[in-house]
Chains A and B, each alone.
Chain A
Amino acid sequence: MSNKVLDINNVTTGYENKVILENVNLTVSDNDYIGIIGPNGGGKTTLLKLILGIIKPFSGSVNLFNNGDHKRSLVGYLPQENKFDKQFPISVRDVVLSGLMSDIGIFSRYKKTDKNKADALLQRVGMEGFAKSSIGELSGGQQQKVFLCRAIISQPHLLILDEPNTYVDNKFEGELYDIIKELNKEMAILLVSHDVGTISKHVKSIACVNRKLHYHPSNHITEKQLAEYQCPLQIITHGDIPHTVLKHH
């Protein structure tokens, strides 16, 4: 029996009267693992901002569920680009704890249990022993793991990952997808990517976003289907021999 964690109902939204997303519907249940694909400028980031509550719908509604509670901490978020200052004086553990910001409020004080939780998460992603290091001392992949811990420390029902493989090497990418697969047992996952090939190896279903949203209830998608969805993307298929199918030219 699966529970609904997110319901986007006929939403139109954008910026300053410029419509980016139109009549979008999406329902996410707690064991979903949805890949979100679409061309650049198609509205993937806008969709994330909508779910995170940074922008509001012009019309329609966005609902997060936890027995009726609506809290920001129900959604964990791993941004695509972490525009942080590498030399900023902050420890790895503190970065993870910052994922509890909206639970604890602006007078934030962390309890011993919160710190233990942060350390347990770091251990889970293989980063034990780094709790007191400065964030800037870590490699890109290690930092990404720390940011993943920050995203899940509030025990969200929905985890949003925006192009998590952008700045990491292949070895780490595999590790990351293993961790996400494990996390999917506890929470729904929305994985944003422009790379259909990589994504379809991992996700259970696909949503194409290009002003409209088309939900595709399997992880196999063909170029023909993408065309029907008006989602102009290059398809990279995978099989025994990985190959790329190029568009007509």
Chain B
Amino acid sequence: MDILELFNYKFFNHAVLTILLTAITTGIIGTYIVSRRIVFISGGITHASFGGIGVAYFLGFNPILGAAMFSVLSAVGIEFFSSSKTVREDAVIGILWSLGMAIGIIFMALTPGYTPNLMSFLFGNILTVSSTDILINLGLASVVVVFFTLFYRTVQFIAFDKDYALTHNVPVKLFNCILLCLVALTIVMSIRVAGIILIISLLTLPPTTANLFFKQFSSIAIVSVIIGVIGGFTGLLGAYYFDIPSGASIIFTLVIIFGVSKIYKYITHKK
């Protein structure tokens, strides 16, 4: 089938829009995650959100809403525990990580009758995206873009040197909390694309690739969005032609882009 013919299908159009919007959000938020080295925190938030999906199924409300609640709560929890310094931050993350998965699987087992498609939450299934999902994605992408445009310098300076920002009476805690919540929501809205297990790569691969060639936060973020779009579309087509899961296909494409960039950088650097 011709690529253009695919656009006759509603599910395909939805998938394309989702890839575009997710690339914008994950490109910007991913750049923040990678620059601030909070990949492990993001992993914790991701897996904690699975608990929300399980609870939502059990109680019969929208699983994405459940995931959003769990991920934001765990983000705030991590921020709270790491600033109180009574518990080791990495230990807290590790606990939330597996606790979320445990709660999720317990509640899914308790849910009577039809067991929801576990695999699509773990590995993503972009073809299940609804019109509501797209609207929420559009909203989140707008919030992220507006936030980073308005507060770009402040975000950059706090991320670069938090202690110095404190001497300038910048509301460091408030900013870190808002940003971690945006990270949490970005993760939740990417579950459809890459699934809980693959999201971390969706967030980290584009900025890591962009960082090979660009050294400024803003340029890394913009290039990450572009890489996300290219990787997303190519991955989606790959999934269609080879009949493989879309999430894995997108991640695999992003890895190939990273690998090729790394080799290119290595060769040109050698000369």
- Which residues does A use to contact B, with CB under 8 Å? 52-54, 72, 77, 79, 82-85, 88-91, 94-95, 97-98, 101-102, 104, 106-110, 134, 150
Contact = CB atoms under 8 A, between A and B. Distances in A.
A102 B216 contact: no
Contact of B160 (A52, A79, A84): A84
A90 B215 CA distance: 7
B154 interface: yes
A33 B164 CA distance: 23
Contact of A91 (B157, B165, B168, B216): B216
B171 interface: yes
Contacts of B161: 82-84, 98
Interface in B128-169: 150-154, 156-157, 159-169
A247 B241 CA distance: 81
A97 B166 CA distance: 16
27 contacts: A52-B167, A54-B167, A77-B167, A79-B163, A83-B162, A84-B160, A85-B35, A85-B36, A88-B35, A88-B159, A88-B160, A89-B211, A89-B214, A89-B216, A90-B156, A90-B216, A90-B217, A91-B215, A97-B153, A101-B153, A101-B165, A101-B170, A102-B169, A104-B153, A106-B151, A106-B154, A108-B157
Contact of A85 (B152, B160, B163, B214): B160
A82 B160 CA distance: 10
A134 B217 CA distance: 11
Interface string B211-255: 100111100100000000000000000000000000000000000
A101 B154 contact: yes
B151 A72 contact: no
A106 B215 contact: no
Name the residue among B151, B211, B216 with the largest chain A CB count within 10 angstroms: B216
Closest 9 CB pairs of A and B: A108-B153, A102-B168, A101-B168, A98-B157, A134-B215, A106-B154, A84-B161, A89-B217, A52-B167
A52 B214 CA distance: 35
Interface of B: 35-37, 150-154, 156-157, 159-171, 175, 211, 214-217, 220
Contact of B215 (A53, A89, A97): A89
Contacts of B168: 72, 101-102
Contacts of A134: 215
B149 to A, nearest CB: 10
Contacts of B153: 97-98, 101, 104, 108-110
Contacts of A77: 164, 167
A38 to B, nearest CB: 21
Contacts of B156: 90, 94, 98
A77 B215 CA distance: 26
A91 B156 CA distance: 11
B161 to A, nearest CB: 5
Contacts of A94: 156, 216
A202 to B, nearest CB: 24
A94 B216 CA distance: 10
A134 B153 CA distance: 16
B220 A89 contact: yes
Given A102-B170, A106-B175, 11 more contacts: A82-B161, A83-B163, A84-B161, A88-B35, A91-B216, A98-B157, A98-B161, A98-B164, A101-B157, A107-B154, A110-B153
Contacts of B160: 84-85, 88, 90, 95, 98
A104 B153 CA distance: 10
Contacts of A109: 153
Contacts of B171: 106
Contact of B169 (A53, A79, A97, A110): A53
B222 to A, nearest CB: 12
B243 to A, nearest CB: 39
Nearest to A82: B161
B54 to A, nearest CB: 36
Contacts of B170: 101-102, 106
Given A85-B37, A89-B211, A101-B157, A107 B151 contact: yes
Contacts of A97: 153
A150 B167 CA distance: 13
Name the residue among A79, A83, A106 with the largest chain B CB count within 10 angstroms: A106
Contacts of A110: 153
Nearest to A133: B215
B100 to A, nearest CB: 28
B18 to A, nearest CB: 28
Name the residue among B150, B165, B169, B215 with the largest chain A CB count within 10 angstroms: B215
A53 B166 CA distance: 10
A98 B165 CA distance: 8
